[in-house]
Amino acid sequence: MLKLFRNIRKKQLADSRFGKYLLYAIGEIILVVIGILIALSINNWNENRKSNAELQLIHQNLIQEFEANRDALQEVLGAIAYTKNGSLENLALIGSNEPMPSEAELNKMIEKSLFFPTWKPSNFTLNELKNTGKLSLLKNNTLKELLFKWETQIEIIEEWNRRVEKSSQDIVDYLKINGSLRNLNHKRIGTDTSKLEISNISLFNDKIFENLLDEKALYSQFMEHNFQDANVMIEEILKETNKQ
């Protein structure tokens, strides 16, 4: 009988130890789980902090770049209006019955039409974001769409830069054969006008010269419109970027 009681007692003690061990094991597991959750929380917080700091830097770079582009564009818009108006003034004199200005004044007017302002906006920050895959960090979807549209606008701008420059070069090339470049820029290089019997007044009775001026005025006007569109887009990009 005693032997039976002893066995029962041993069994109870064993069961008691197992229960305590089980509670201990469960407690250890809970502590490990809590530790893992805390570590994950700290890691997520740290990653979010880094991500927010990087996002803030991206916004700062975008603002700096587009503000610089906007300032440069304001100057170019004035230059475009200058050369466009110069071409229009020259066109108004061709075939006109009104008294012609002096040759010196005409040369100044022709020189205005030769000017070809170009604007090459910086696109470094956007290219870097694309190349590094960091464009996805931007949370503002409107800003993302504007930046995608900006790439298309850049291509349009580059095309009109080329066209206006070529139209100016075409006038220069024509003047080399049919007029006098020296009479236009003699003051710039510190010389007298040409000593040859050559005048640019005759150009104002020349249909080819008229067509070249017309092309320059037209291209300058298209360029002006596209640059104004770019200016509006820059303001929108800056507005959306400053929201963050």
Tens of pLDDT along 64-105?
Answer: 999 999 999 999 999 999 999 999 999 999 988 888 888 889
Q: What per-residue confidence (pLDDT) applies to 51? A: 72
Domain boundaries, the chain: 65-241
Mean local confidence (pLDDT), 156-161: 92
- On the question of pLDDT at 149 being above 80, the answer is yes
- On the question of pLDDT at 23 being above 70, the answer is no
Mean local confidence (pLDDT), 100-117: 90
HEC string of the chain?
Answer: CHHHHHHHHHHHHHHHHHHHHHHHHHHHHHHHHHHHHHHHHHHHHHHHHHHHHHHHHHHHHHHHHHHHHHHHHHHHHHHHHHHHHHHHHHHHHCCCCCCCCCHHHHHHHHHHHHCCCCCCCCCHHHHHHHHHCHHHHCCCHHHHHHHHHHHHHHHHHHHHHHHHHHHHHHHHHHHHHHCCHHHHHHHHHCCCCCCCCCCCHHHHHCHHHHHHHHHHHHHHHHHHHHHHHHHHHHHHHHHHHCCC
Q: List, for residues 28-61, the tens digit of each pLDDT value.
A: 677 677 878 787 777 777 766 777 788 888 899 9
Helix 207-241 and helix 141-178, axial crossing angle in degrees, nearest 10:
160
Q: List, for residues 118-140, the tens digit of each pLDDT value.
A: 899 999 998 998 888 888 888 89
- On the question of pLDDT at 171 being above 50, the answer is yes
* 61 backbone dihedrals φ, ψ, rounded to 5°: -65, -40
**Nearest residue to 237 via CA among 145, 109, 104:** 145
Mean local confidence (pLDDT), 200-210: 92
